[in-house]
């Protein structure tokens, strides 16, 4: 009989331990399981790279500060990490949630999480049609349904259910496009605005979102964090096209956001009382970003009005970031990376407040607390 080499035994033990992590450990309650990310371009990690769409960020200088890609564009609409990336890192997830449409979103890679977010996507299916293709929240949840079946195959139905319901977090960052690229969109939406009041449009949004969150609950989601809509009237694009001064914001856009945000908070309170075993955490993105914009010097920024990467007007706020854009040298000093999206420096501040902050910005618990429930 051939002798067994010591290193062979080590290899066998290592393989058994690795298998045990994915099959047994994945069903335990220790640590965060997967991070499932839904939303729009604020958290898109590359899904739109795989769509025939006018909304894409897989061109330089996007991603110039994203270390994982060596500064190459990945489809993230910022210079570095998104809020979703930073939250995942801080909660100990070993790798970024893989974009659902990416070829490598199969097998064990999905155990760390999947990103379904899509630039231009919204709560309403009509939102973002100006971009031709995008993934609305309904489609994103359809895709999660496919992922849910994959988990059953990977872990077995019982362990998969525990892993998803007890150890995984579902984050939803959506709603801004429903105003910017739907209700408020010039020309294309004028008919909708004549036929539908802001109250009626927001009613539709809330009713759609209620159904969408309930669908996720029915697929075993239990730990939710839902971001409200930020101060969209203060982004460089809105300031530029409305020819505002540095310290001004578009009143109508912000009023619509605040009106929706009030309804969203009521919805999450309703669902917390109605869907047994679930917790819906409210992320007050509006006040958090408004604090950065209003008191930007306090956080080390030199401007909260001008895009670091963009072209057109006083705030470089008309043409999206691309190879021909003007690019600032002090990227960490800008609240906004491009006409629409925060810089990585701003994302870090926002993410840390969501992770560790008080109920002023995240309630009833922060994300560190949520992950430990």
CA distance 206 to 60: 36
Q: How confident is the model at residue 33 (pLDDT cuts 50, 70, 90)?
A: confident
- Residue at 323 is within a domain: yes
Contact, 307 vs 337, CB < 8 A?
yes
Mean pLDDT on 53-57: 95
67-98: string of b/e by CB count within 10 Å (b at 16+)?
eeeeeebbbbbbbbbbbbbbbbbbbebeebbb
pLDDT exceeding 90 applies to what percent of the chain? 86
Q: How many residues does the chain have?
A: 373
How many independent structural domains does the chain possess?
A: 1
The position carrying tokens 């190459």 is: 72
| 92, pLDDT greater than 60 | yes
Q: What angle do CA 52, 100, 18 make, to 5 degrees?
A: 150
Contact, 308 vs 79, CB < 8 A?
yes
Specify whether 371 is catalytic: no
- Residue at 1 is within a domain: no
pLDDT exceeding 70 applies to what percent of the chain? 89
In terms of pLDDT, which residue wins out, 10 or 286? 286
Please tell me the predicted confidence (pLDDT) of residue 26. 46
Please tell me the predicted confidence (pLDDT) of residue 13. 36
pLDDT (tens digit per residue) in 137-171: 999 999 999 999 999 999 999 999 999 999 999 99
- Residue at 190 is within a domain: yes
Q: How confident is the model at residue 12 (pLDDT cuts 50, 70, 90)?
A: very low
- Rounded to 5 degrees, φ, ψ at 121 are -75, 155
Q: How confident is the model at residue 193 (pLDDT cuts 50, 70, 90)?
A: low
- Residue at 37 is within a domain: yes
pLDDT (tens digit per residue) in 258-270: 999 999 999 999 9
Among the options 208, 282, 334, 341, which is catalytic? 341
Winning range, highest mean pLDDT, from 26-40, 186-200, 297-311: 297-311
Read off the pTM: 0.91
Specify whether 199 is catalytic: no
- Residue 262 sits in a domain of what CATH number? 3.40.50.1110
- Residue at 81 is within a domain: yes
| 5, pLDDT greater than 60 | no
Structure tokens at 9: 């035994």
pLDDT (tens digit per residue) in 330-368: 999 999 999 999 999 999 999 999 999 999 999 999 999
Specify whether 41 is catalytic: yes
Mean pLDDT on 283-305: 98
CA distance 73 to 347: 17
- Residue at 60 is within a domain: yes
pLDDT (tens digit per residue) in 217-240: 999 999 999 999 999 999 999 999
In terms of pLDDT, which residue wins out, 11 or 71? 71
| 14, pLDDT greater than 60 | no
Transcribe 8-32 into DSSP letters: HHHHHHHHHHHHHHHHTGGGSSSS-
| 191, pLDDT greater than 60 | no
Comparing C-alpha atoms, which of 130, 113, 114 is closest to residue 122? Answer: 130
Please tell me the predicted confidence (pLDDT) of residue 20. 37
Residues contacting 115, CB < 8 A, separation 6+: 36, 37, 43, 44, 45, 46, 47, 84, 96, 97, 98, 99, 100
Please tell me the predicted confidence (pLDDT) of residue 196. 82
Among the options 35, 40, 41, 65, which is catalytic? 41
Q: How confident is the model at residue 1 (pLDDT cuts 50, 70, 90)?
A: very low
Please tell me the predicted confidence (pLDDT) of residue 16. 35
In terms of pLDDT, which residue wins out, 19 or 249? 249
In terms of pLDDT, which residue wins out, 9 or 114? 114
Comparing C-alpha atoms, which of 178, 363, 138 is closest to residue 259? Answer: 178
- Residue at 184 is within a domain: yes
SS3 label, residue 146: helix
Strands 279-283 and 309-310: unpaired
Mean pLDDT on 44-60: 97
Compute how many other C-beta atoms are within 10 angstroms of the C-beta atom of residue 274. Answer: 12
CA distance 100 to 106: 9
- Residue at 24 is within a domain: no
CA dihedral of residues 119, 123, 124, 126 (deg, nearest 10): 0
**Mean pLDDT for the chain?**
91
Please tell me the predicted confidence (pLDDT) of residue 141. 98
223-242: string of b/e by CB count within 10 Å (b at 16+)?
bbbbbbbbbbbbbbbbbbbb
Domain that holds residue 58: 31-372
Among the options 105, 220, 338, 343, which is catalytic? 338
SS3 label, residue 362: strand
Strands 362-363 and 279-283: antiparallel
């Amino acid at each position: 009989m051939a002798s067994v080499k010591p290193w062979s035994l080590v290899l066998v033990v290592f393989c058994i331990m690795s298998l045990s992590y994915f099959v047994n450990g994945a069903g335990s309650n220790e640590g965060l399981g997967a991070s499932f990310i839904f939303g729009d371009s604020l958290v898109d990690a590359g899904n739109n790279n795989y769509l025939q769409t006018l909304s894409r960020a897989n061109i330089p200088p996007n991603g110039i500060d994203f270390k994982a890609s060596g500064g190459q564009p990945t489809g993230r609409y910022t210079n570095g990490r998104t809020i979703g990336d930073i939250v995942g890192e801080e909660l100990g997830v070993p790798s970024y949630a893989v974009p659902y449409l990416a070829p490598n979103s199969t097998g064990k890679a999905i155990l760390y999480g999947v990103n379904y977010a899509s630039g231009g996507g919204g709560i309403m299916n009509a939102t973002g049609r100006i971009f031709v293709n995008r993934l609305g929240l309904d489609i994103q949840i359809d895709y999660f349904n496919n992922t849910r079946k994959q988990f059953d195959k990977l872990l077995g139905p019982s362990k998969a259910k525990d892993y998803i319901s007890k150890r995984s977090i579902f984050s939803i960052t959506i709603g801004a496009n429903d105003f910017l690229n739907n209700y408020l969109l010039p020309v294309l939406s004028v008919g909708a605005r004549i036929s539908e009041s802001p109250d009626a449009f927001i009613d539709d949004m809330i009713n759609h979102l209620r159904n969408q969150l309930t669908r996720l609950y029915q697929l075993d989601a239990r730990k939710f964090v839902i971001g409200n809509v930020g101060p969209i009237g203060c982004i460089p694009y809105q300031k530029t096209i409305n020819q505002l001064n540095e310290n001004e914001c578009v009143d109508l856009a912000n009023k619509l956001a605040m009106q929706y945000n009030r309804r969203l908070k009521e919805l999450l309170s309703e669902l917390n009382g109605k869907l047994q075993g679930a917790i819906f955490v409210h992320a007050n993105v509006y006040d958090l970003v408004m604090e950065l914009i209003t008191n930007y010097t306090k956080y080390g920024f030199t401007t909260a009005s001008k895009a670091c990467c963009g072209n057109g007007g006083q705030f470089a706020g008309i043409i999206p970031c691309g190879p021909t854009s003007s690019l600032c040298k002090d990227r960490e000093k800008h609240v906004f990376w491009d006409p629409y999206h925060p810089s990585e420096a701003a994302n870090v501040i926002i993410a840390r407040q969501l992770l560790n902050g008080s109920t002023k910005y995240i309630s009833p618990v922060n994300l560190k607390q949520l992950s430990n429930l």
